[in-house]
Amino acid sequence: MTRAEASRFLGLSSFGATDAGIDDVVRLGYRGWVDWQFTLPQKLHMDHIDQQVNVVSPGLDAWRYATNLRDSFYMQALRGPDQVRQRVVFALSQIFVVSMASNQVVDRSSCHTSFMDMLGRNAFGNFRTLLEEVSTHGMMGVYLSHRANQKEDPVKGSSPDENYAREVMQLFSIGLVQLNDDGTPKRDSAGNTIPTYSNADVSGLAKVFTGWSWVPRDNSNYRFFEDFPPRDIQVQPMVPYEQHHSTSLKSFLGTTISAGTTARPSLRTALDTLFNHANTPAFIGRQLIQRLVTSNPSRAYVSRVSEAFKNNGSGVRGDMKAVIRAILLDDEARLPAKPGDGRQGKVREPILRVTAWARAFEASSKTGEYRIRQTGQIGQSTMEAPSVFNFYRPGFVPPGSAIATAGLVAPELQINTESQVTAYLNFMSNAVERGTGDNNDVSCTYAAEVALASNPTALIDRVDLLLTGQRLSPATRSAMLKAINSVPAASTLQRARTAVLLALCSPEFLVQI
């Protein structure tokens, strides 16, 4: 393969291309590189944060934990060797959303940290295990309110909280409507979509998620209602308290759990039902394709990924490695769009723009902690989605646009407002010139680019390779060349910065194809 092809591949499968990364992909090949990435050990956010923060008592250092978790995210995104794992975790965190926009999350930041590490642990495992660890994690239990969820009480007329039961179906497994294996909706004889579940299914499933809470101190139910147990409790999976679990008949999605069934068998049956549902391969597979490769995958592409989810080649369902291989090694991922094909590609979301810049030009951190932290002004701040529905919806269509007319979607454009376009230009101008983050903690010297400043064409070639996989159009290159030549030849650093900034603002960088 060419270095340009390797760079483009890294733009999809990592947080951005680097010289060393390009060399690795060229040397190992696409599959060889992905398989090598699968062998790399996970680096835990908790280990980094424990080096930064001494937890004196529960909740005392919540803010410091939250900011250090952001630092750890960027440290691993920019410097971590296990790029595929980190990119998949980023994708999973936008499906299984737990957001720092909620004080409930910030106030339990050690618990949130363990949630992110849990996503990393399961990124290359099995989706069934991932679904269970998400469902029993205390942070998700707090965020979607099924921690300390109590069984129905006919006397009081109370029912279990249905929040998680609804979202685990709608967002985490099967979606709202029945799907074909290619991700398209099934339709009835009148041409209408067919719902996957009803309110009765939600109510039945909600009973499964009753009686779960923090690990108890002893055999009592002392921690069932406790809001802030010690940190070592918060990072453990929730456990059932049978006295609070509903043992009445539970019916949902064509499955019935007999009256008298305890919490763990009920949970196992419920999650097996969601995992084995006909919708799950296409629903989850398509979203992962959207987060990693393209907003509008073809039906055939989704079908191939669905098949990998259903069977990894050895009869195993839900093998995440097989799903990731199917996504990243598919022709639609490896081969650039054909001229005039407006279906392929995706808008590069703001966080990935920042990481692509920092990785390409070997950004360093004054503190060694990569304190980028807040990038909300450009439309996306790490782990701070406005709701469980993420920063944007997978089916978002800009109203009245050519995208809508073509029957396509553009999820990332939901956060790409006019004000944020301007904010991004200002943000990157400052980052390229002075650095970004707390006290401009993260910055680039552009040593390799400065060395090419006397040869503007070679300088453009370099930033083109690293940021777009050599996709800059002749018109964009011409405009860049004119701008670079307007800078005095002796101002080599300014020439380098000009080339980098203009590439970062180019449509070829902002839209990955």
**Residue 114 pLDDT more than 70?**
yes
- Look at residue 325 in the predicted model and tell me its pLDDT: 98
Q: What is the pLDDT of residues 403-423, one digit of tens each?
A: 999 999 999 999 998 899 999
Would you kindly state where each structural domain of the chain is located, as residue ranges?
163-275, 346-512
| Percentage above 90 pLDDT, the chain | 88
- Give me the phi and psi of 346, to 5 degrees please: -155, 155
pLDDT, average across residues 451-475:
98
Give me the half-sphere count of Cα atoms (radius 13 Å) on the Cβ side of residue 204.
Answer: 20
Of 489 and 55, more confident: 489
Calculate the alpha carbon distances from 60 to 72, 105, 116 in Å: 20, 14, 20
| Percentage above 70 pLDDT, the chain | 97
- Look at residue 220 in the predicted model and tell me its pLDDT: 66
- Which of 116-148 are b and which e, b meaning 16 or more Cβ less than 10 Å from the residue's Cβ? bbbbbbbbbebbbebbbbbbbbbbbbbbbbbbb
Q: What tokens appear for 68 in the block? A: 């250090």
Give me the half-sphere count of Cα atoms (radius 13 Å) on the Cβ side of residue 371.
Answer: 14
Q: What tokens appear for 46 in the block? A: 């908790």
Q: What tokens appear for 168 in the block? A: 């685990």
> Is residue 437 a contact partner of residue 373, using CB atoms and an 8 Å limit?
yes
- Look at residue 51 in the predicted model and tell me its pLDDT: 79
pLDDT, average across residues 381-397:
96
Q: What is the pLDDT of residues 12-61, one digit of tens each?
A: 999 999 999 999 999 999 999 999 999 999 999 998 888 776 543 444 45
> Is residue 412 a contact partner of residue 348, using CB atoms and an 8 Å limit?
yes
Looking at 143-152, 236-245, 368-377, which range is the least confident one?
Answer: 368-377
Q: What is the pLDDT of residues 285-333, one digit of tens each?
A: 999 999 999 999 999 999 999 999 999 999 999 999 999 999 999 999 9
CA angle, corner 294, sides to 470 and 337, nearest 5? 45
| pLDDT band for position 170 (cuts 50, 70, 90) | very high
Q: What is the pLDDT of residues 322-340, one digit of tens each?
A: 999 999 999 999 987 776 6
Q: What is the pLDDT of residues 251-270, one digit of tens each?
A: 999 999 999 999 999 999 99
Highest mean pLDDT among 47-51, 229-233, 338-342, 447-451: 447-451
| Cβ atoms within 10 Å of 225's Cβ, excluding its own | 13
| pLDDT band for position 511 (cuts 50, 70, 90) | very high
**Residue 160 pLDDT more than 70?**
yes
Average pLDDT, the chain: 94
**Residue 145 pLDDT more than 50?**
yes
| Cβ atoms within 10 Å of 389's Cβ, excluding its own | 15
H/E stretch holding 291: helix 280-292
Looking at 193-207, 220-234, 344-358, which range is the least confident one?
Answer: 220-234
> Is residue 15 a contact partner of residue 356, using CB atoms and an 8 Å limit?
yes
- Look at residue 221 in the predicted model and tell me its pLDDT: 67
